Structure 1
């Protein structure tokens, strides 16, 4: 089974099973072939990998930030590049023997810049949070005022939330969707920025289902002389696929992970302009441009040697994302999310903002006697893996919540389309209407889901 059943797919085909061999037997046989050393040297860990592979094969992965990497990405991640230490940047290392590492990192940089049309790229951040910490340190000394969307409103931890470094080391100003509409009010955001005069403004979210207006944010940032930083960790694939605006022309810096919609390894990256438009205002005594400050914030500011096996896998993912098949994939992700939203609305469920423009949607149970956590746990028992999530104006605590966040990236990678979204909406409805009898209902739903999943084996899982 290929992604979208297309011969142009950038996701590899799964190995074919023997005639008459059931899925479980095939899974174990192929894993034994792929992991002979691990199986013999650490059977305990090997068995846990097998268990996770079975779980991901037989359930619906609907957490929006999860996906399936290709065989090529997994192979690069597990390559001998793990063995090399190369502190520094290409052509400026602190260790010898890095001529091939320089070429690999430069390949990833060049592909990433081309993918987003960026002037500068850094592919060394170990993940999204370190990338955001490097950006913040590069633009704003501790104690500076930063503005972002808080976690309860659907934002990121690293955009100024109180339990994170960004909320502990910086003055924070928050904005978020209106509780009544679930939509961002750009006039309200402008008023907050004018009043607070932050040094930098984050734009980006983990649970906002609508298109972000980067041009509007850029006007606000320009007016208050603030750096504008977009965090595209959750929507990078939509941007590459042309179904969401590209923030690069509007922002000073753009940060992201690589392992969500881009289907790469677990890593982060940073894009930026080379020159700093606010250098005279904020860094009058520095001779470093914006790109150099970003690089220095990553290394040596926060990290040591880069993970070259991961950077190689990033290069693979960037190549896969630069194909017509990936654009088809991104369009189908959005089409699937919209179809799922439409069917849930038809069944009487309330959704944050009334629907979606992106890869995710958030069910709103503020008026229900049960919580988002109740629903998420019941869905998991039935084979639908989602996460409970805060909604704008949520009266419940963060570990309980009134929402459930659902996404379509991983389902679309498996080749599912609108007909499958109709069936999934039906199963979600069955679970929600039978929460008190979930122990009796879940096995039947889970069996039906497992049967669907066998028709759409996840690429890259049998590795």
Structure 2
């Protein structure tokens, strides 16, 4: 039995003609089996037919279940081959030399071809023509492709309007493309109103709130445009000039320009320093350095997390390895002198002599003072250790030249790019290259960091880089070399100093007693409250800060401190007098937190939150303070968007 199903070709006419060509018609002018003389005097050979259409052959007399006709009138075959493949002269060449099939539209019948053999039988010819056309229409009417609600039988117009001619096929392709191309070019508000609304809410939060988290900033419109550009579309594993994908000539240009600007922004000699701009973020960049320059379980020293360090420097407790760095490497912390709040360099040196680290990290996430890189360099030299400076928080200040640079002393420098540097969310790894020293034989010994670090980034720990981020970083680095950027960083320091002094005047205790950089770390113990509770109240009045551990803390979830910084609000135009007002808002929030704590039904944080959310008097006080904060914040410019374009500007 022949398997003959509905045609699959999108072109109705091409599919039906191909289907009709598969029918083995038993017409009065044909012979039974061996030889056939159909239309136009062409010879049809069953063997040749089987060779050309080996996916279905029906013997005479076999019946089809389609409409009760015999198999020669069965439903169209699944393979929609052209009618030309059937009505061809008898083949004389081997099957292996058959010409390739070309789907070329052919009329269903060349009626004039009947005259070739039946000119002497005009009445019989006319009868045969009517029979053939009737069968054709019956067969065509059974096709689902031509069935329409009001017209079960096709007309010439309906058949040829869906022709597989080149022009019609191109039109169909264009229409098909439009179904997704149009969508891809629709704006966000049309495609996804839900996400659009969330973004608008975040705009309103940034506009009406006070952003005091020191690791945050407001990147520029130009950086956001670069990050949201077509550079996000390209895959580019490898490095400029040595990619594993084609089509990266402009990606190479962007990454090379970013590298060049990175060295220029920090005043580095390209003969002595190199930079990798592909690292995705700060923690990965640190781990990439460790894996590049250390063997598994070699030793690292870094500032302890409760004393201002960072998780990515290998934090662990007495009972648990918190950071994955502490799993793969052996880590030991150095700490602050708790009486002064400064790093205890003497104890660091003693610990290093006992621990003998292979690498020492000079970097912090909550340390308000400057690092003594020269002192740590001496310790590293004694232990023949690598000095890694993590300047993630302070890289913008370093680029502007308003605080000392680690590059004079460090072997490797890592940084994020979105904090004080005010770029997109990425990272950079700087490494020394060139001559390291002259050995005893008078030979030059070169740094071998470049290949090791590049290999650790890719293919060691990453695949393709985020080219849109690298492009945005190039823009931010260009801005970092402008006079406006230096003025901004000077204002960051001045604002931070004023903010710290205002808090001290209000009776707050600061770790180390003040600040030399962009942040202040408030120890709230003398106020009788912790950072977690104050953070909740600050958030409810539209002030964003973060709880933070301070020396002496035993819990990272309920720490004793609050960390605040000046980069974000300075980007919006805040100056010294404004930060005096911010200190007043902060003081009011702490006093409110103390009232809520006193009225809470229990001593746990959840009891505090319940009182915060349920007490009517508390809610009234919070609403009043929030209104004051928002009114003050809304006076200042927004960054990256205009208030007039906001959905929630009221």
The aligned counterpart of 1:403 is 561
Select the residue among 576, 588, 612 that pairs with 1:430: 588
**In structure 2, distance between residues paired with 1:53 and 1:351:** 32
The answer as to whether partners of 1:225 and 1:278 remain within 8 angstroms in 2 is no
Report whether the alignment pairs 1:157 with 2:311. yes
Select the residue among 572, 578, 590 that pairs with 1:420: 578
| 1:18-57 mapped onto 2 (5 Å cutoff) | 37-57=187-207
Report whether the alignment pairs 1:302 with 2:461. yes
SS in 1 for 2:401: coil
Shift of 1:276: 7.8
| 1:15-94 mapped onto 2 (5 Å cutoff) | 37-94=187-244
**In structure 2, distance between residues paired with 1:315 and 1:209:** 28
**In structure 1, distance between residues paired with 2:199 and 2:459:** 35
The aligned counterpart of 1:30 is none
Shift of 1:130: 1.1
Report whether the alignment pairs 1:232 with 2:391. yes
| 1:101-120 mapped onto 2 (5 Å cutoff) | 101-118=251-268, 119-120=273-274
| 1:204-219 mapped onto 2 (5 Å cutoff) | 204-219=363-378
The aligned counterpart of 2:411 is 252
The aligned counterpart of 1:448 is 628
**In structure 1, distance between residues paired with 2:383 and 2:561:** 34
Report whether the alignment pairs 1:191 with 2:341. no
The answer as to whether partners of 1:68 and 1:461 remain within 8 angstroms in 2 is no
Shift of 1:460: 1.1
The aligned counterpart of 1:31 is none
User: What stretches of structure 1 move > 6 A for 4+ residues in a row?
Assistant: none
Shift of 1:117: 2.9
What does the per-residue CA deviation read over 1:235-260, in whole Å, with 9 as the maximum and x for residues that have no partner? 00111122211101100000011011
What does the per-residue CA deviation read over 1:111-160, in whole Å, with 9 as the maximum and x for residues that have no partner? 00111133101000011111111111111111101000122111111111
What does the per-residue CA deviation read over 1:164-193, in whole Å, with 9 as the maximum and x for residues that have no partner? 121111111101212222111211111111
Shift of 1:439: 3.0
TM-align CA RMSD = 1.8
Unaligned runs of 5+ in 2: 1-184, 317-321, 440-444, 597-617, 646-650
Shift of 1:275: 4.3
What does the per-residue CA deviation read over 1:208-237, in whole Å, with 9 as the maximum and x for residues that have no partner? 000111111111111111000000110001
The answer as to whether partners of 2:549 and 2:560 remain within 8 angstroms in 1 is yes
**In structure 2, distance between residues paired with 1:278 and 1:142:** 26
Report whether the alignment pairs 1:121 with 2:278. no
SS in 1 for 2:486: helix
Shift of 1:345: 0.4
Unaligned runs of 5+ in 1: 1-34, 281-285
**In structure 2, distance between residues paired with 1:417 and 1:287:** 47
Q: Which one scores higher on RCO, CA 8 angstroms, separation ≥ 6?
A: 1
The structure with the larger Rg is: 2
Q: TM-score by structure 2 length?
A: 0.63
Shift of 1:288: 8.0
SS in 2 for 1:306: coil
The count of corresponding residues between Structure 1 and Structure 2 is 423
Shift of 1:277: 4.5
Cα 1:36–1:427 change in 2 (3 A) is: farther
Shift of 1:287: 9.6
The answer as to whether partners of 1:183 and 1:210 remain within 8 angstroms in 2 is yes
